[in-house]
Every structure is written in C-alpha cells, then in structure tokens.
Chains A and B, each alone.
Chain A
Amino acid sequence: MKYYRSHVLVCVDPDCLHRGAHEALDAFQDELVAQGLIDEVQVLETSRIGACSQGPEMMVYPEGVHYAGYTVDDIPFIVEEHFLKGRVAKKFELPAETAIDEELSAPTPKEMRVVLRNCGQIDPENIEDYIAENGYMGLAKALTSMTPEQVIDEVLASGLRGRGGAGFPTARKWQFCRASAGQVKYVICNADEGDPGAFMNRRVLEGDPHAVIEGMIIAAYAIGSSQGYVYCRAEYPIAVQTLNIAIEQARAMGFLGQNILGTDFSFDLEVRMGAGAFVCGEETALMASIEGKRGEPRPRPPFPAVSGLWAKPSNVNNVETYANVPQIITNGAAWYAGFGTEKSKGTKTFALAGDVKHTGLIEVPFGLSLREVVFDVGGGIKDDKGFKAIQTGGPMGGCLPEAYLDLPVDYESLTAAGSMMGSGGLVVMDDETCMVDIARFFMEFTQEESCGKCTPCRVGTKRILEILDRICGGEGREGDIELLETLCEQIKQDSLCGLGQGAPTPVVSTLKHFRDEYEIHIREKRCPAKVCKALIRYEILPEFCTGCTVCARNCPTAAITGERRQTHLIDVDTCIRCGICMQVCNFNAIVIR
C-alpha cells in the first residue's frame, strides 16, 4: 500500500453528479497528475458528504476541509492552493459544521466517550493537541509516583478487561508477564482488526494514536519491557502512517526512547504490518507473523506471557485495551469502575453496521441493552422495516433474535446467550434477511480464513459450507440439520485456536433461533426472506409494467423481452437473479416470487 499525504473524498451521488461532479473529478485527477501529486493524494469516491445543495462537494483529510460549489475551471486553483501551497482555498470552503463524519457522529444521549473522546476532536498528527487533552499525564503519574506493582493494582481495581474478544482481565495478564523470568520482554499491540464490519481500532489509531502509545508505555513499565510492537493490518495504511508520525513525535518529546521523562525506564516502539491473513489476529499467529513466518497459531500453553515473541515473555493486548489505560491511571480506577456492570467495567466501542439507520462507530457503557443500542443509539431499522436479528462478536459470534433485545451488553450475558462480545462488530439485520444465507456467509469467511493447520477446522468448515450451499441452493435433505449440529460440535471441540472453536457459532446460533427457516429451505424449498437465488424467481407484473424497456436494457443476460410500451417478460432459465432489473424499474413492476 502507498502512503498518502492527503485523502480526498469526492461525492458521486446523483445530486452531485448532476452538478458536474464527474467532470470536476476527472479534471481533479488530471490536475494532480500534472502537478506530480498523484502519488501523494488519494482520491476516494463516496457519497453524501454534506449539505447536498451546493455540489459538487469534496472533503480533504486529514485537514477536514470541506469544499463545495466549484466547477471544472476552479480545479487548478484548488489544487494549487490546497495541495501545492498548503492553504485553504477559502472561496470554496464550507463551514465545518455542515460536514458530517459518516463514521463517527456526535454522541447520542446514551453514549459515553472514553476511548473515542479525542477522535475527530484533535489533530492526530500533532502531539501538542493530545497533551492539551491531558495526554501523557497518566504516563507521568505512573513513572514518577507509582511502582509497577501499583500500576498493575490500579488497572486491576478498574476492572479493565481485554477488548480483543475474550475479555480476559488485563491486569492479570500483566501480572503473569511481569512474573515471568527473563530480562527481555515484549509489549505487543494487536491492531489486526480483521472482524468484518469492525473498524473501531482503525479509528482510534487514526484519530488518537497517542492514547494507544501511552497505554503501551504504561503497560511496558508495569511489566518491565523495553521494546514494543504494534501489529497493524496492511489494509490500514493510514493508521500505520499516523502511528509512525505519532511514535516519532513521542520520541522527540522524550516519551519513548532512553530514560523516559528522566527516569531510568526506557522503552521503544515499532510498527509491523500484516499481509492479509485474518488468523494473524490470534495472538500466537500474530507473533509468528512478526517473526517473519507463516501466521499459524500454535497450542497454548505456553502462553505468550511465558514464551511469546522470539520465545520471550510477551504481553498482547488489543488497541482499545491500551487506549483505556492512560485515563484509568489519570482519573483513577474508581472513576473507571463507575461505568458498566458488576463484571464488565467501563465502556466499549462498537461498529454498528447493516440495516440500522445510523451506522458507524459508537461507544457505550457496558450494561446498555441491545435494544437501546439498536433503537436509541442506532436510530432503529432502516426504511422502517422490522428487526430480525443482531449479529455480535464477528465471524465467530452469533445471531440473536428479537427475544434477546433486552439483554444487557456485557461479556457474560452475550456468552450465555450463545454469542459473544468479540471485538465490537454489530451487524443489524432487518426482516428481509435470510438467516441460512447469513450463516453460510460467515462460514464462507471462516472456511477461507482457516489456516489449515488442524483438520477439524480445515475440513469441517468446508463440509458445513457444502451443506449450507446445498440448502441455499434448494437441495437440502432431511437429516442436514442434525449433520450440521454434529459437525459444529466436533469442530468446536477439536480445533486448536479460537477461529476453529468459534467458527460454528453463527451456524449453531441460527439453528437455535431460526431453525424454522432451515426447515422451510429444506422441506418446502422456499426462502422465506426471498434471498436465496435458487429458491426465488423474478417476475414482471403486467398491471404495473409500462413497457419502458429499462429493465431489458439493463439485464446482463438479456433475459427480458418485450416491445416498447408492451408488457415485458422475464425468461426464468436465462435469468441469473442478479436483481438489477428490479432496481432499475421505476414502476415497481418487478417482484420476487
């Protein structure tokens, strides 16, 4: 991946396109090439940047400058001013408040920002901004007035648990690592964030990198480590770049390096990039990957705290876990333990995705109910459809139906319900979602990401996927459900790492809560949600069809016939059920049967 100095989001929604967004975009690209800036400026096409009234519109990051209302002819001026001279092209600038951040909007009443408090509020590339928000105060307090044991005790009293999935008490982990024999120990930050739909860690790394760095330095002090690594997935080039800048600045200020803050504690930090393998998020695989090997998990014990990176005692925590630490030290354990439930303290960030009105990042205290998260924070289901299920815990998590909406969001409750906390992906599904298809979908992911080291995971996931494919393909048989259950149990029991152990969860949870859907697919060869292609047909309703020919012109397989102003007809055998015709028909004349 390249590193870009700037990222420009250009809106290509219909409103903007009508006002010449396309021409302006092409002109913009050309101008960047002409000025030799094309390798420094990344242009991303998105939608709905702003007020939608003065398009074309673009946002320039990291500055967050919002331009609108320019034409092709203004492009050279904007490029010259902004990208060459580094000045805001005032003439086209919109006031900041008209811009919306699609990922992170202002907190709703039930939210609580601890980890995300600085994201979007400070300049991540300027350490002074972070310091002005009490940054590095926790570090100063720890180094100058606390022993490592006292730091661990404070974190223990705060109740902080790992945010990477399993929820293991952070201070306990630190204790184990501290107690391990050896001079050389490593502190590692897991920024591999591979769970589909989860981008909380990315946002923290990009928006408040120093919080993570400060947390890691405090952890290193507590454990007795002098070298740390952040393992970041390669899909996050901006996070890597921001981190590197932040590390550099922290070094220059004396927060990293030799004799930090004049004490005899020394610690330094390096960023390592992954190369696209989900399983590298598992801690033992992650360490193998840093060592330059295949990122395959190995059995534990020995735990990383005893023998980790290069066989030295190592502490692995998630980005969010570290990001909590500075504020725990600064504000005290009691402050932190004041949020959340008895066993799950503090707040948790989530990425809300799917069919919910307000998708994006949220941060809530533990203990809020799923209902509050979906309806109060998320604004409810999109297009006023019905709620069907919420998927928590990522690809190794489960789907929970409406009956569980009043469940409090905490580690124990989600596990007891047959799902899990995971790293914080929440996918909301409306009543037009097919749960068998969703289970198949997650299985496809885990099957593809299985590293193949152990047979139950490698072969078992494949078999489950074959069965689900069959069921979705209209060829389900009696006995399939029981077969799935047996396979799930085996994989869960006999797999080496969390990927295999968790892979069956989406299937098990949908079998538990939506068994009737499986049965209808198998016995009646019907997909009640009208999703599974083999079990549906597209049809044109003669009473609505005006014969406008739009569908026929858009059908990729020429499956639609009909004369202008005559009712059109879909040929079932040629149709590949892509759904394009239904999208383009302006008269709602196409339905799924």
Chain B
Amino acid sequence: MTIATIDGKVVLEAVNKAVEEHGATIDELIPILNDVNRTLGYLPANALDEISRRLRVPKSQLFSVSSFYRMFSTKPRGKHVVQFCESAPCHVVGGRQVWASLLDHLKIGPGETSPDGNWTLITTSCLGVCGVGPVIIIDDDIYGNVAPDQIAEILARYSETRE
C-alpha cells in the first residue's frame, strides 16, 4: 500500500469494524460500504481494496456497485456536507430560492467541494419530510421550512462551532 500508514490504519480499522459487524459475505456488501463511507466520509481506493480482499469480491464489481448508489462517494468530501432536497414538493414551496441562495453563499456547484475543503454541496431527492419543506441537511442536522435569507446564518453556525 502506498499511502501513509496513519491513513491506512484508519481505513483498515473502519473496514474491519464494518466487516465484523455485518459478516464477510457478498449480501452484506452494501451495509459494509455504507458503514465505511460513513466513518471515513467517502470510500478511498484502499478501503475498496481491503473490502475486495475480505469479501472475495472482484474489485471491478466493487467499483461498479460503489459508483451506482448516491450515498457512496469515491472522492473525499468537505468537512461539512450540505444536502439540498431537490424534489417537487420542496421545489413548489420555495426550494428554488433556497437553492439559489445556497449556490450563492457556498460559491460551489452541485457535487463540488470548496477549495478550502470546508463544504461539499450535493442534491438529494425527497427525504420524506416534505411537510416542512424546503429542506436542507448539513451533516446530520435537518433544517425544515428554510427561507433563502436564513442560509447565511445557518451556514455560519458550522464555520463558527466546528472549525
């Protein structure tokens, strides 16, 4: 393995934990990928190598699976991940303006990570909480009934408290 040992160690640990929890069989592949993606923030190549070895699944199949599902990312993500619900019910209650405001404040496009590594902006489809749309999620925090002029203040909470 070519990457720094510290990274490799963290990666190995994450994979170990997930495989132990779910068992090393192919039908547990998606739960395992989910856990690792969650722990590391994305699926680095060496994590996929390790999973491939442990589950005896060809790497080609792993890549094909991990690129299929939206929850998995093979690229590193920013410190904070902002998800925007782009589905119709949120759209018709003002989602469009919220989106414009997000783009404007983050200065990145959908799927992009800011150069300082602080933000990744992604869109998601309905999160099932349309009753309080428009909806955005930052990391694990769900914000409902978001208005465009709240965006600056919501984002500011993350730059203040967690940097």
Residues of A within 8 A of B (CB): 1-2, 12-13, 42-47, 102-103, 193-199, 202, 234-236, 272-278, 289-296, 351, 353-355, 359-360, 391, 395, 425, 427, 429, 433, 438, 441-442, 444-445, 449, 451, 554, 556-557, 576, 578-580, 583-584
Contact = CB atoms under 8 A, between A and B. Distances in A.
Interface of B: 26-31, 33-34, 38, 57, 61, 64-65, 68-72, 86-89, 91-93, 96-97, 100-101, 104-105, 124-133, 140-145, 147-149
Contacts of B149: 554, 580, 583-584
B71 A275 contact: yes
Contacts, number: 159
Contacts of A194: 125-126
Contact of A427 (B38, B88, B132): B88
A516 to B, nearest CB: 21
19 contacts: A47-B145, A193-B128, A194-B125, A197-B126, A275-B30, A275-B33, A275-B70, A292-B26, A353-B131, A355-B93, A427-B88, A441-B91, A442-B88, A451-B68, A556-B105, A576-B100, A578-B104, A580-B97, A583-B149
Given A198-B128, A292-B29, A296-B68, 5 more contacts: A44-B143, A47-B144, A194-B125, A199-B128, A579-B100
B125 A234 contact: no
Contact of B30 (A46, A193, A289, A359): A289
Given A199-B130, A276-B70, A580-B101, A429 B92 contact: yes
A578 B143 CA distance: 20
Contacts of A276: 69-72, 124
Contact of B148 (A103, A295, A353, A578): A578
Given A196-B87, A275-B33, A294 B65 contact: yes
Contacts of A351: 130
B101 A44 contact: no
Contact of A354 (B26, B64, B92): B92
A295 B125 contact: no
Given A275-B33, A276-B71, A578 B88 contact: no
B125 A278 contact: yes
Nearest to B104: A556
A293 B124 contact: no
A2 B124 CA distance: 18
The 5 A-B residue pairs with the shortest CB-CB distance, nearest first, are: A196-B87, A276-B70, A292-B29, A275-B69, A196-B126
Contacts of B132: 46-47, 102
Given A441-B91, A442-B88, A578-B100, A291 B127 contact: no
A235 B127 contact: yes
Contacts of B100: 556, 576, 578-580
